[in-house]
Amino acid sequence: MDKAQLDAVADWMAEHVPGFGGPLTARKFDVGQSNPTYRLDSSSGAYVLRRKPPGVLLKSAHAVDREFRVQRALRDTAVPVPEMLALCEDDTVIGSAFYVMDHVPGRNIGDPSMPEATPEERAAIMAEMNRVLAAIHDVDIEAAGLSDYGPPGNYYERQLGRWTKQYRASETSAVPDMDRLIDWLGRHLPPEDGRRTLVHGDYRIDNMLFAEDGPACRAVLDWELSTIGHPYADLAGVIMQWQLPPGPEGRGLAGLDRVALGLPSDEAFVADYCARRGLDRIDGFGFYVAFAFFRMAAILQGVKRRGLDGNASNPEKAARLGAFVPRFAALGLEAAQA
């Protein structure tokens, strides 16, 4: 964000954010591949600005207005979110829509293996992650004013159509496993079961902020993909992430001794979630994990395409993430066959 844009943001905040006082400085976070995110500091405190990226964008992508709406709706629920302060949909201010929220102090955990933590600390954080996920799916969408936040009908049928279209629009080369996975998912769509909840859409540990001195979640971030849909999508997304290699790129748990580390098995995490939500079991869970791999592959393909088009928040990281698309497609097929 250049000085002219920063001055424009300061002028806008002076008019729309109660209690704001300049001058204003900004620092871009390394996270936020999809929507560039900045920490703003001023005499009146710290804020966070999240904006659409510049350039030509895929239809329905980077919906910062939806992020703002859902987090504001969750303000008085059991789901921890930052305080939403103001939304700007006037592209003439800085060239794209953005919103401003309170800065929430806390620690971001980028690696679910938590190498610096003790087994007891890991277990407590994973239990909190499970609790917050159940809380998201227990939100009364009518009371929160979110009943129209997603269309009715079979969630997975809609999502398969949407993400296949997004993937094709950003496709840069043929990925045979992705084509096979799309075909398999289309032939194995689960029947509509009536479950309709708020869905985060990208629920994982690095999209959460935790207390500095304990496992309490202070905020769930990055609601760009949220909608009203099927809750198993979020749960399968967590399990999907854990199948990836550990480390800064994969950010998974594959191959680790989870018992020794104090980390739950996939089965234990799912069982705890079911207990929190009063479910006996989840049948056909392989479909949901396969779908999670498919959707993430489509998302990463979009990141790769934005990097090639010069619209990525971090072009080098976009290229690295895009290289995972064939691997995600292959893992999706493995989950489908499990």
Q: Which pLDDT tens digits describe the chain residue by residue (338 residues)?
A: 889 999 999 999 999 999 999 899 999 987 655 789 999 999 999 999 999 886 555 555 568 999 999 999 999 999 999 999 999 999 999 999 999 999 999 999 999 999 999 999 999 999 999 999 999 999 999 999 999 999 888 899 999 999 999 999 999 999 999 999 999 999 999 999 999 999 999 999 999 999 999 999 999 999 999 999 999 999 999 999 999 999 887 889 999 999 999 999 999 999 999 999 999 999 999 999 999 999 999 999 998 888 888 877 677 888 888 888 999 999 999 999 98
Cα–Cα distance for residue pair 81/45, rounded to 1 Å: 18
The count of residues in the chain is 338
Q: Report whether 35 contacts 50 (CB < 8 A).
A: yes
Average pLDDT, the chain: 93
List, in sequence order, the alpha helices (H) in the chain: 3-16, 64-73, 119-137, 155-170, 176-187, 232-242, 258-261, 266-277, 285-309, 315-322, 325-337
Axis-axis angle for helices 266-277, 119-137 (nearest 10): 40
- C-alpha distances (whole Å) from 297 to each of 51, 241, 271 are 23, 12, 27
Q: DSSP for 196-220, please give it.
A: -EEE-SS--GGGEEE-TTSS-EEEE
Q: Which amino acid is at 20?
A: F
Q: DSSP for 246-309, please give it.
A: SSTTT---TT--HHHHTPPPHHHHHHHHHHHHT-S--TTHHHHHHHHHHHHHHHHHHHHHHHHH
**pLDDT reported for residue 223:** 95
**pLDDT reported for residue 60:** 56
- Reference 144, options 209, 197, 108; nearest CA is 197
Residue 212, Cβ neighbours under 10 Å: how many? 10
Strand partners, 247: none
Taking the CA atoms of the chain, what radius of gyration do you get in angstroms?
A: 20
**pLDDT reported for residue 9:** 97
Residue 89, Cβ neighbours under 10 Å: how many? 13
- C-alpha distances (whole Å) from 242 to each of 28, 258, 269, 289 are 28, 11, 11, 11
Tell me the pLDDT tens digit for each residue of 34-76. Answer: 789 999 999 999 999 999 886 555 555 568 999 999 999 999 9
Q: Which residues contact 22 (CB under 8 A, 6 or more apart)?
A: 10, 14, 42, 43
Q: What is the pTM of this model?
A: 0.90
- Reference 235, options 184, 180, 286; nearest CA is 286
- C-alpha distances (whole Å) from 295 to each of 131, 197, 290 are 24, 19, 9
Q: Report whether 215 contacts 120 (CB < 8 A).
A: no
Tell me the pLDDT tens digit for each residue of 208-243. Answer: 999 999 999 999 999 999 999 999 999 999 999 999
Read off the tokens for 74: 């969750």
**pLDDT reported for residue 152:** 85
